[in-house]
Amino acid sequence: AWAQDASPAVLASLAPVVLAVAKSGDLRANSLTSLAVEELLLHIRTLARNLFVDERATFPLALSGGLMNRGSLLRKRLAGRLKASVPGAVLREDDVVAVRGAVTAALRALRDLAQR
């Protein structure tokens, strides 16, 4: 009943707890973590097919967010499954800074406006 009434934000707040418990060896938490990895791989494979026609095409993949920090359990497991599931994905190890992408997009938009 609690989960049915919980908001997505409340449910998401449990993810760090589940990952911590999985890291300690809990089978159910590890099962949930594996399920999360498979769902993420499905999304990455779908994006690769839609953007590059083939998931074997080489493309850079950047991961961001608190659960995807370097060294996190979720990132390690995803990286371990990536080559088998999406062979063309090349995982970037550098930190993703969202503001950098926003500024780059804004500069590109300004350049395009100036060229009109």
Please state, as a whole number, how many other Cβ atoms lie within 10 Å of the Cβ of residue 63.
21
Overall average pLDDT of the 45-69 stretch: 88
* pLDDT at residue number 34: 97
| Residues composing the chain | 116
Q: Taking a C-beta distance cutoff of 8 angstroms, is the pair 73, 25 a contact?
A: no
The pair of structure tokens assigned to 103 is 């500024």
The pair of structure tokens assigned to 100 is 């950098």
Q: Taking a C-beta distance cutoff of 8 angstroms, is the pair 78, 64 a contact?
A: no
* pLDDT at residue number 95: 76
Of the chain, the percentage scoring pLDDT greater than 90 comes to 71
* pLDDT at residue number 56: 83
What is the value of pTM for the model shown? Answer: 0.78
3-class DSSP assignment, residue 60: strand
Which pLDDT tens digit goes with each residue over 79-98? 999 999 999 999 998 877 77
* pLDDT at residue number 94: 81
* pLDDT at residue number 82: 94
Please state, as a whole number, how many other Cβ atoms lie within 10 Å of the Cβ of residue 43.
10
